[in-house]
């Protein structure tokens, strides 16, 4: 039996995600940015940035 009465989050998918914890946002200014070998990485906190 399938339950058709469920909700899915709608809207744009997050564009930025922390590679350590997986936290995601669609706002670049919410994360710390680090460029490595021509690729941008985003971290949600200083602690994870230095992990």
Domain count, the chain: 1
Q: Is residue 28 scored above 70 in pLDDT?
A: yes
Give me 14's structure tokens. Answer: 């997050």
What is the predicted pLDDT for the residue at 39? 94
- The SS3 assignment for 15 reads coil
Domain membership flag for residue 41: yes
What is the predicted pLDDT for the residue at 4? 56
Rounded Cα gap, residues 42 and 49, in angstroms: 8
Domain membership flag for residue 6: no
Domain membership flag for residue 35: yes
In this prediction, residues 29-50 reach a mean pLDDT of: 91
Task: Give the whole-number percent of the chain exceeding pLDDT 90.
Answer: 45
Domain that holds residue 24: 16-49
Domain membership flag for residue 38: yes
Q: Is residue 43 scored above 80 in pLDDT?
A: yes
What is the predicted pLDDT for the residue at 50? 82
Instruction: Specify the DSSP class assigned to residue 46.
Output: H
Domain membership flag for residue 42: yes
Q: Is residue 12 scored above 80 in pLDDT?
A: no
Q: Which residue has the tokens 């940035």?
A: 49
Domain membership flag for residue 9: no
């Amino acid at each position: 039996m399938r339950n058709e009465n469920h909700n899915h989050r709608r809207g744009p998918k997050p564009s930025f995600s922390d590679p350590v914890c997986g936290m995601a946002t669609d706002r670049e200014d919410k994360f710390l940015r680090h460029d490595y070998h021509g690729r941008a990485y985003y971290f949600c906190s200083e602690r994870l940035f230095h992990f």
